[in-house]
Amino acid sequence: MAQVPQEPADETDRVFALQEEVDQLKEAVTSHAVVDQAIGMVVALGRVTPDEGWAVLKEVSQHTNIRLRNVAELVLIWGRSGQMPEEIGAQLEDALDRHGPTQLPGTPPQG
């Protein structure tokens, strides 16, 4: 059976579809790096395992109804500036209480 030559419009549509896929993959890689860095901060500061760090970020995201990547970005900003929205900080501390042995650095001792 003879091959039917592709129409130029088909080629253009394919190029646009592939470019969209590349853009999505670039965004996913960037997002993944941000989340990984935030997990690293939670692991170091909260003295938890990487799996627990992931669970902490996921819980904060779910309890605040903020996308995981955005929570991760806020954690990274907190690491640089020491500032975090109160609701995120409270949820982060609660999640670490459930998963880890310590409280957030810089917070007054409980008790």
Mind listing the pLDDT tens digit for each residue in 45-78?
888 999 999 999 999 999 999 999 999 999 999 9
Q: Which two structure tokens, joined as six digits, stand for 102?
A: 């310590």
> Mind listing the pLDDT tens digit for each residue in 85-109?
999 999 999 999 888 765 555 666 6
| Whole-angstrom distance, CA of residue 52 vs CA of residue 48 | 6
Per-domain residue ranges for the chain? Answer: 31-99
**Averaged pLDDT, 30-50:** 89
Per-residue confidence (pLDDT) for residue 11, from 0 to 100: 82
Per-residue confidence (pLDDT) for residue 23, from 0 to 100: 72
| Whole-angstrom distance, CA of residue 83 vs CA of residue 26 | 29
**Averaged pLDDT, 30-58:** 90
pTM score, two decimals? 0.67
